[in-house]
Structures are given as C-alpha cells and as structure tokens.
Structure 1
Amino acid sequence: MTPNFMSKFLLLPRPLLFLLIHAGTLNAQNQVLVLNQSLSLVSNNLPNPPTFSIPASSTPLTISIAFCETPQQDGPRFFVTNDTGIGDPGPGSGGDVFEITVGENGMGNVTLDSISNGGTFAVTAGTSQLSFEVGLSDSGPLHSQLTSLPLLGDSTNNQALLFSPPFLPVNPSDPTYPNYTLPLGNITQPPPPDSSQTPNFTLILGPTTSFPTFDASNNVLSNNFPMTACALRNVSNLVVGESTNPPANAQASLWLRDSDGWRTQWIVSGLDSITNYTAYVVQDGTKIAGPTYFRTKTAIFSCPLVHSLPFCPSTSYSVPLPPPPGTAVTTYDASNFPSDVSDPLIQYMTNFTVTLLTFACGRDWYSPLQTCADCQRAYRTWLCAVQLPRCGEIPDTTTSASTPQSSSIDSGAQVVFPAVLSQPKGDIARNTNLPNATGDWVELLPCLESCNAADRACPNFLGFMCPVPRFNAASSYGVGFIDGDEKDKGSDWEQDGGMTGLSQDRWGHVWCNG
C-alpha cells in the first residue's frame, strides 16, 4: 500500500476495519469439508488455495472422489494428510501424505484411521478441465457402487416395473407356543419406514444406446466413462427423478416384496416397444447401483402389470387379465384387483392355514430346520405363482437364441431358452377364476424350485407334492434353471433349458417365474 492509501485505511471506523481484516483472514484459510456431504468442484475453477480442512473426529473418516466426466491425460490429483503441520499436501510435500488414486470406474477413496486433530485435503489441478465431487463420510465411502442391483419386476410393450436395491431388512418373528397364531390369508403390509430410515433413491433410465457400453468382467464402462452418479445423470435421455418427487411418467412407492427388505418401486410409462433399456439407481445422490437391462415387449402384448398385492407381496409382473377399468389406470394393484380372482386365492390360503394349524405347531417339531410359519410363507409364494400366472413372449429364434422373454442384450452368458407355454384364448389351465384374456397369451412357467421349497418346508401329513422332473414336471414348471437337472445326477436326459443358477439375471433374461 502507498503511504497515502495506508493513512486513509487507518482512518476507517474501527468496526469496519476489524471486519475487513477478518474477511482477509478467512480468504487465506482453507475451506472445510462438511461431514457426510458431497462437494462439487471443477478443476480449472478451484478455490485459492485449493486446500480443504478436514474436521477432527474420534472415528475414522473416508474421503472419496467421483469423476463427473471422462478424465483427460493431465487431470487433477488428490492428496490428503492427517498431519496438521502440513498445510498444503502434494506430490513433493513429504511426510504423512496419501494420494487418492481414482480407478477405472471413476471413483477413489482413502480412509484416515487417526484424525483426532483434523487434517487437510488438497487438489493439484492439472492442465485439463474436469468436474468432480468430493465426499467426506464417517460410515465408509460416500461415493461407491452398491453390491445389490436394481430389480426388474417385468415390462409390457410400453411400461416397466422396477425396484431399488433392498434396504432395512425385515426378519419375520415366528409365533411361539401356546399362542401359535399365523398371519391371515389376506395379510397386510407393515407400516412403511419413516423418512429417517429411507434412502432417497433416484432411477436413471434410458434406451441402452444412450449409455456407454458396460464391461461386466471388469465392472467398468467403455472409453473410461466414469460409473458414477454425477456422470450417469448427464447421459440418459430419460431420467426418472427422485423417489420423493417422480415425474408424470413414473409412479414411486415403497413396497416390501420379501424378507430382503423394503424397496422403492417405480412404474414407468411411455416407453417404446421392442426396445432395450438400461436402468441405474442412485442412492442419496452419490451411491450407484446397476446397470440392469430389460427389453419391452412387442406392440401386441396385452397383459397388464400387477403389483402391490398384500396377499401376494412378491407378485410384480404382467398377468393375463383384461385392461383395468377406466382410462386413467393402466395397472392392477390392491385397489382395483378383481375380487373374483383375489377372494378364492385368499380363501385357499385361509383353508391351508387352518389345516396346517391342526399340527401342534410350536410344541411339536416335524423338522429341525422348518416351522409352520416357514411352511405358510413358502406355500403363499407357490400359491401366488400358480394362481397368478406370468405372461411372457416366445423368443425370436430367427435372430438370436439369447433373446428370452425380456431382452435381446447379449451378455455372453449361457444361451438358455425360457420356460414358456402357449395358452389359447380362454384356456386358463391353472386358475379358472381368471377372466378371459383379450387374446392368446404365453405363460412364463413358475420355477419348479418354488414348489420344492413348499414341499420341503411343510409337514408330511399335508400331502403336498411336486411333479418329478423325470416325468411331467416340465409341462407345468420351469425345470433345471436354478437347482440343475437330472443330467447332473447321472441321468441320461436333459430338459431343454440348462442350469443358470437363477431365475433371471441383470441382462433382462427371465427363464422362469421365480
């Protein structure tokens, strides 16, 4: 400052003078990373200096990085230290400094076990522009890939039913003797968890051609594209928003399908027929699950989606029913499901429960592994699968053998045809209470394992038996997809299908109704 300017500066009112000095001091200090929050930055527009303070903590803290676009050769580098004597950690600062390496998936992290006095995070900008996010968390990396995938319920010619990964598992509490009371035939869902227990899920959905190619063997996307939430939000041409505020073409709700836990379910409309789609789910803005693939059905597919039935909680697929009454609703749930179908099903469940309870459940044991409650749950799963058959489509064998029922995406997996059975119009073999479908339809047969599970879980006096694969099981069940087939046990026969180990995969292949 010049002497003249300095004299004028010192003549300022004392409160204003202190305010200016304090503001200058703040500008020279590091910004502070906020715990359990994500900070968005751009490498060519970093604060000066590009360092951030890490608050002291009695528990380990994890600093995570997520690239929001494809990295260039000379991108930013990231350094962290818990040595408070190092104010600007970098490649030449020495001491206890760690560099955060970002992997091929566009994410990287480091955990500081000892941070009782705080620490410092610094960015070396590089020469190329790159947008990225920084997260600080006391419960593992804020930016990460979830191990569970989004779940495909089913698709029609213009709709899809999708689920988030499960959260908040529910362990059913079995009754005890002498008050051994089982749930009613028409069970009700427990109250949904409150907002403090519910992650904020976002569904990212678009035609598969909109997304970079996924390399499943290395769990990365092609051309070094980051598999991060902030990057994937920018590539699809159909983003279905947050579960708390879905757009007009999607309905979001919470649903407890099974003991895996609660899920957010989306019913998405306005899709194109015979089109491959890719779905990702983002949890709390930073954690990514996916991809999961599916293919919409042909334009003549007429079976509507059925979902959210308390008496059949795992039913989330298309069923051979006429279109729902009215024009505003295109799917069936508990509010509009035909009572001519649900009432007999619930009565069957009630009658079975009454018979089951003639056994001294809870006092006597028919199995060291199974209880009457296990039996009832397994029977309900089987009953819903056979009373509410699932519609499918026969694969087009002229194009590819890897086009079962829902997808023609070639994952390189075993080529297996689904267990489908043509059903003429009006011929409902399993459930005569179903009204006539609007046309011929194809049934995706239930997995034989659902019958075997009920057989194993229930007492012998009920007389519950399943067909044997060697004879006629394949006429009414999908055989050999999950538990293998008789050929693996030395038999000389093989049911066409093959052993996949599961009823459906992430690529949209659905082999039997599991």
Structure 2
Amino acid sequence: MHFPKLSPLQCRFTVSLAASLIVLSVYLFLWNPHLAYAAEIETPSPASPLIILDHYALDLTDDLEDPQDVDDDQDAQHAKRAVGDVVTLGGSNVPGLLNIEAGNTTIWHFSNASLWAPYANLTDGLPSSIDDGDTGDSGTIYKRQNPSTRLVYISVTTCLQPQWNGSTNQTTTPPQLTLYVSNATSNKEPGPNAPANRQVAITLNEGFANYSMNATTDIYMSVHAPEVPANFSGIWNYEIAASIDNYYHGAHPDSPFLYLVDTDTHAALLVTNNLTQANPNETTYQQWMNLTSPFTVFVQPTLDRSLDGMRNSYCGMTHASINNASSSVQSGMITRGLGHKPKEQFYIQELNGSTSYFGVLAMEGNSTKTGSGVVGGGGQVWQPVSFKTKSDNNCALVFNLTFCHDVAYAVPSNQDRYPDQPSLSAVYDSYAAGLYENFAKSLDQIPCNTTLSAQYSPAKNCDDCADAYKQWLCAVTMPRCEDFSSPLPWLQPRNMGQKPINSSSSSIGSMPNPDMFQQVQGQLDQQYIPMTSAPSDSDAFRQTYGSVSATNSSRNPSIIVDQIAPGPYKEVKPCEDLCFSLVRSCPAALGFGCPDPGRGLEVDYGQRSDDGQVTCSYLGAVYYLNAAPTVSGTSSLAVAVAVVLSLWILG
C-alpha cells in the first residue's frame, strides 16, 4: 500500500498533531475531576455502599473488605483510596453535601475561577443586622483591602452522624469531624497525614466549624472522619461551603438570643432579644414589625440525646428532625418588654408537664432565601436555652391581652372552667380594665392640663400617673403563678384552704400527686412568720398558714378564689418598685401608699434580682435576659421536633 508523499510542512503538522493527541490522552487518563454541588443523605447499603456526588458515584464496596482478607499491598491501597478523589466545589456559596465513613478523608477544591468570580448580589434578608455579641468565627477575619488577595469564608456543618446502638442509655456523643485547610500552595492534599505547618486543623464543635483566610489562588481543604467508638454505628454526612462574600453557614454558640418568658404544664412562651434599637417612627422599626416570623425555633426534651454533637448545626437539626410541629406553634412580632423594641415571640404547645426542654433559635437561610447561591443560605443557630414546664396544672399562660397588653406569664387558672388561653385571658383583662375605669374618673378630677407651676409635681404629670397605675394594676390583678410544689424561697403561698379542682383529667385536680392535698391541709396549722422584722409583740409571730388571708386566700378573692378557683398555688409577688413608682407618680390626693417593711411589705411585694431570675413580677419580665445561663459541653441537647415557624398569629 502506498501512502501519498507529504510535503515538509504536512509532515511537521502530522507529527505535531500525533504528539498533541498522545499528551491529551495521558492528561485525561490521569485527571478525573468531580464537580459536585450536593449529595444525598442516605445511609449506604452494606452490600454496595455509594457516595453520591451529583451525577457521579464512587463505589466503596472494596473499601469495606474484612482487613483479615487483604494483604499488606491491599491495605496500602485501601489507605490511599480512603483519601478519595478531589471534589471541586461548584462555586462561591455553592455547598457540597457528602457522606463519609470512619477513617476516611475527602479533599475539596475551591478553584481560582471561583475565588476571582464577581461578588454576589446580596439578596434581601433581615431589615438590619442583629447584635447578639457573638461573631461565631473560628478563624481570622480579614478586610477586603488588598486587591491582589480575596478573603474566603469556609464553613462545615454535620448533617448526619453515627447513632448510639448500645444496650444502655447513651452515655457519650460520637466524635467530631475535622476540617483541614491548606495554607501553602504546595499542600494540595491537606489532612491528618499532611505537614502540620502547611495547614490549619479545626475540630468541629457540636457539628460546626468555620475559618476565613486571604487567598490568591486555588484553595484546598479536607474533611476527615475519626474512628467510630464502641456502641455507635453509621456514617457522617456533612455540608461544606466556601464563599467570597460571607459564611454560608452560621453558629453562635456563645449567645442564646432566645429567652424564656414563662411556662405552664403544656406550653412555653419564648421571645428573642431586641432585634433593633430603631424608634417607632423609623423605617427599620416598621420593616421588622412587618416581617412574618423571620426566625425558627427547635425544641426537644433534654433526656433525648440523639442529636448531641450537632446542636450547632442547622443542617443537622433540620435533617434529623422528622416531626414538624408547626401547627402547635404560634409566632409573631411583638414590642412588649425591654425597651418596647421589635422582638419575635414563640408560643410552643403540646409539651409535657414537669419536663425539661432545650430551645434553640435558628434562621433558615438568610431569613428570606435559602440554599445554593444564597449568601448565608445554609442557615444559622444560636446557643440553646433550657427550661422546664410546670407540674401542678393550676397555672396557665396568658399573653397578647387587649388592656394589659404587657402581661405575658402564667396566672392562676382552672382548666375545667377556662380550658383555653383566650377565655382565661379575657376574664382577667376585662376585670383589670373595669378597675382602671374607676381610677380614670378620679384622675380626671386632677388639673393635669395646666401650667407647670400649678401641677401637682414638677417632675411627674398625669400621664406618668396613669402609666404607673396601669403597670401596678395589671401586675397585682394578674398575679404571676408558680407551682405550689415549687420550693423557691421568694414565692408566696396562696389559696391554701381552697379545695382542689374537680378536674376530669385527675381525681386530685390540680395537685401534682395524691398526697399533695393532704400535705397542704396539714400545713395549714403550722406557724407562719412572713415578716421576721416585725415588732416582737406583733401578731405576726402568732399566725398559722390557715389563719391569715395572705396564705389561705388570694390577692384578688372575688375573681381568683370565687370565679376561677385554681386551688393552692404560689405567687411571684409584684416588685415593690411598682408600688413606689405609683406613689411617686400620682398626686397625694388619690391617697396611694405602700406598706412599710415589717408591716406587710414583705408579704405583698418582692424585690428584683440581678442574677437573671424573676424573683418578683413586673410586666415584660424575661428569664435570664441579663444573665443568660450557658449550656455546658456535656449537657444534652437533642432536637428532634423541628418547629418551622411561619404563622403570623401573635403580635
């Protein structure tokens, strides 16, 4: 066979083309990129486990062979394959979701093209940033000043972890994943075997870690899974993201930003801190008040430890929480409480009495958009707060009242007579409003609209008097109720002589156990000394619990004893400063006065505490607002009931 004779130019072209094809074949053989956006959360089948990378799948069946059945060469290959291929993130704010087994390491690549891509157009989120006092940053934040570098935000959250399969109650949590970030261009395989001086290692904290760094070119990072300890089984699933705009995932482990208002036996009332310091006439204030539940709350009994190890992970909470209880939750914006600034309130129902819970404030995405491509699209969580529901069934939450609109706590109740919150609220609110009408008529007789020299006080006016009276009236008309079984020393026993509620749910009514009523009856004849500073010859030292109205009746017998009939309960007494403010703010002609110490002050009023406890009742009181309790690393938080709050019911 004769080939045509080629010219010198054609010969050179043919040789060049052949060489190029050979080089290209070798390059494609050695380089096998995986561009991954997400992977399913799916427990691998023991027969043929798969890690799903978008349209790619890596078969790990060989990796699960019995070590006794492989030789040393195969062990070496197994260790090599455990690192896996390099997975390239799809871009800035585009997360990768991947399963990982114990002992394995996955390397991730944030490309130079993604690093130098245009910054994202920020989507509408919250009307203004909230200051919770917690940056939530594990690394160092650098400002965007040097045009030759880009600040990159890296974050990882655990979505699934090995579960306890021991025969006893869970005693520990599964170990955490570790994030490795290369800080040297020569280290393209960061991980447990790479030089420590060429990378940064961050162990996830309760399923979350983040790190920020300045970069000039491609970034390599990895996630390593530790060995699974005894009594645990399963894999991890995690989400990782890199962004040139801000963190895709967020966690605030040092700030709860959520506080307990009060509980009853089946519900809890929680509220955020102030979301803005703007005034009512400002646009930001109105924007906050016009929102429909920008936050989410997760609540779970303390004893359930199935999600210990992921309480800083929004991804972990949402994927592991299979029970959506949004129908049992009411939420909305309020201004009640500290500073009368916008806050979000959560009324969580269908809880169990005498049970400890954790509540976690969270935000889906940036509050308006979520998911891939959204700055902050991975969601945020705040520090958990603990609370316990009441047990005696004679206190019920009231809130969002028409007249006493700042009242929000549990009051003496009787579920047989007032089975729901609106009916009980209406009874108390209308009673207080009626009393205020009589006061208003008296105040109208005072010359309020007159010159400053003719007013009853140069410092106070009739508006101050009216406000102080309403604050005092609502606090004393609607006493803050606690379980009679509570041992807290600042509580005042009330209504001890009243018979128990004839409840259809219990033969003993509101009492927490069959012996409680008999114990109360036996206490009626015991000595009662409410005021140790009373004169020594006073009758205060010759009283019993059953002989005085302070313990044997209620502060408002006509409505509480006769109409509501809650049975024995204990009261958080109104703060004494409410009475003092009333006397200072109103004209002497109205005749207001407060009891003296040793002459009744200690029975009728309490004192405020600076340790976060509500030791006396005042409108807008919130537990631990100024002294929020921390949740230790060993305390249990399991969140299996995800409450996605989208209802605009309260407000």
Question: For residues 490 and 554 of structure 2, what CA distance do their matches in structure 1 show?
Answer: 20
Tell me the CA shift for residue 477 of structure 1. Answer: 1.7
492, 496, 506: which one aligns with 1:420: 492
Aligned pair 1:80/2:208, yes or no?
no
Q: Which residue pairs with 1:110 in the alignment?
A: 211
Tell me the CA shift for residue 331 of structure 1. Answer: 0.8
In structure 2, do the counterparts of structure 1 residues 335 and 304 end up closer, same or farther at CA, with 3 Å as the change threshold?
A: closer
- Note if contact 1:62-1:109 (Cα within 8 Å) is conserved in structure 2: yes
Aligned pair 1:251/2:351, yes or no?
no
CA displacement, residues 99-132 of structure 1 (integer Å, 9 cap, x when unaligned) = 22334x44333233x3576744432455554333
Tell me the CA shift for residue 389 of structure 1. Answer: 1.5
Question: For residues 195 and 340 of structure 1, what CA distance do their matches in structure 2 show?
Answer: 30
Question: For residues 142 and 225 of structure 1, what CA distance do their matches in structure 2 show?
Answer: 13
Tell me the CA shift for residue 226 of structure 1. Answer: 5.2
Looking at secondary structure, tell me which structure has more helix per residue: 2
Amino acid at match of 2:412: P
Q: Which residue pairs with 1:42 in the alignment?
A: 99
CA displacement, residues 367-388 of structure 1 (integer Å, 9 cap, x when unaligned) = 6xx9988876665443321121
Q: Which residue pairs with 1:155 in the alignment?
A: 263
- Note if contact 2:448-2:461 (Cα within 8 Å) is conserved in structure 1: no
Tell me the CA shift for residue 142 of structure 1. Answer: 0.9
387, 391, 394: which one aligns with 1:293: 387
CA RMSD, 1 decimal:
5.2
- Amino-acid identity (%): 18
- Note if contact 1:66-1:143 (Cα within 8 Å) is conserved in structure 2: no
Aligned pair 1:122/2:194, yes or no?
no
- Note if contact 2:262-2:409 (Cα within 8 Å) is conserved in structure 1: yes
How many residues are aligned here? Answer: 412
Aligned pair 1:65/2:65, yes or no?
no
Q: TM-score, length-normalised on structure 1?
A: 0.61
Question: For residues 371 and 55 of structure 1, what CA distance do their matches in structure 2 show?
Answer: 63
Question: For residues 416 and 558 of structure 2, what CA distance do their matches in structure 1 show?
Answer: 19
The 5-angstrom pairing of residues 181-330 of structure 1 reads 193-195=289-291, 199-206=294-301, 208-211=302-305, 228-231=313-316, 241=325, 246-247=326-327, 249-259=328-338, 261-284=341-364, 285-298=379-392, 301-320=393-412, 323=415, 330=420
Aligned pair 1:471/2:571, yes or no?
no
Tell me the CA shift for residue 273 of structure 1. Answer: 3.4
Tell me the CA shift for residue 287 of structure 1. Answer: 0.7
Question: For residues 461 and 318 of structure 2, what CA distance do their matches in structure 1 show?
Answer: 47
3-state SS of the aligned residue for 2:155? strand
Tell me the CA shift for residue 456 of structure 1. Answer: 9.4
- Note if contact 1:151-1:165 (Cα within 8 Å) is conserved in structure 2: yes
Amino acid at match of 1:205: Q
Question: For residues 453 and 139 of structure 1, what CA distance do their matches in structure 2 show?
Answer: 50
Amino acid at match of 1:292: S
CA displacement, residues 324-365 of structure 1 (integer Å, 9 cap, x when unaligned) = 989xx711279955664253255368569866955879xx99
In structure 2, do the counterparts of structure 1 residues 392 and 272 end up closer, same or farther at CA, with 3 Å as the change threshold?
A: same
Tell me the CA shift for residue 31 of structure 1. Answer: 1.0
- Note if contact 2:413-2:424 (Cα within 8 Å) is conserved in structure 1: no
In structure 2, do the counterparts of structure 1 residues 29 and 442 end up closer, same or farther at CA, with 3 Å as the change threshold?
A: closer
Q: Which residue pairs with 2:422 in the alignment?
A: 332
Q: Which residue pairs with 1:413 in the alignment?
A: none
- Note if contact 1:80-1:121 (Cα within 8 Å) is conserved in structure 2: yes
Tell me the CA shift for residue 41 of structure 1. Answer: 3.5
CA displacement, residues 201-249 of structure 1 (integer Å, 9 cap, x when unaligned) = 123233x322489xxxxxxx7xx67554455568889x564xxxx13x3
The 5-angstrom pairing of residues 355-504 of structure 1 reads 358=449, 380-395=470-485, 403-404=486-487, 416-423=488-495, 428-430=554-556, 432=558, 436-451=563-578, 454=581, 458=585, 465-479=593-607, 481-482=609-610, 504=623
Question: For residues 376 and 340 of structure 1, what CA distance do their matches in structure 2 show?
Answer: 18
In structure 2, do the counterparts of structure 1 residues 156 and 55 end up closer, same or farther at CA, with 3 Å as the change threshold?
A: same
Question: For residues 388 and 152 of structure 1, what CA distance do their matches in structure 2 show?
Answer: 19
Tell me the CA shift for residue 466 of structure 1. Answer: 3.8
CA displacement, residues 370-410 of structure 1 (integer Å, 9 cap, x when unaligned) = 99888766654433211212222222xxxxxxx44xxxxxx
- Note if contact 2:110-2:218 (Cα within 8 Å) is conserved in structure 1: no
CA displacement, residues 397-439 of structure 1 (integer Å, 9 cap, x when unaligned) = xxxxxx44xxxxxxxxxxx424123125595534756661134
Amino acid at match of 2:489: F
In structure 2, do the counterparts of structure 1 residues 84 and 417 end up closer, same or farther at CA, with 3 Å as the change threshold?
A: same
Gaps of 5+ in 2: 1-17, 19-27, 36-85, 120-142, 145-150, 163-172, 229-234, 365-378, 499-551, 630-651
Question: For residues 252 and 241 of structure 2, what CA distance do their matches in structure 1 show?
Answer: 11
3-state SS of the aligned residue for 1:344? helix
Q: Which protein shows a greater Rg?
A: 2
- Note if contact 1:171-1:259 (Cα within 8 Å) is conserved in structure 2: no
3-state SS of the aligned residue for 1:153? strand
In structure 2, do the counterparts of structure 1 residues 254 and 384 end up closer, same or farther at CA, with 3 Å as the change threshold?
A: same
Q: TM-score, length-normalised on structure 2?
A: 0.50
CA displacement, residues 61-106 of structure 1 (integer Å, 9 cap, x when unaligned) = 5433344547756x64312357778654446367774322334x44
CA displacement, residues 265-286 of structure 1 (integer Å, 9 cap, x when unaligned) = 3434443334344433333343
Gaps of 5+ in 1: 1-9, 11-19, 175-188, 214-220, 396-402, 405-415, 485-495, 508-514
Instruction: Report which structure shows greater RCO (CA 8 Å, sep ≥6).
Output: 2
3-state SS of the aligned residue for 1:471? coil
Question: For residues 154 and 583 of structure 2, what CA distance do their matches in structure 1 show?
Answer: 48
In structure 2, do the counterparts of structure 1 residues 358 and 41 end up closer, same or farther at CA, with 3 Å as the change threshold?
A: farther
3-state SS of the aligned residue for 2:255? coil
The 5-angstrom pairing of residues 129-144 of structure 1 reads 129-134=235-240, 138=245, 142-144=250-252
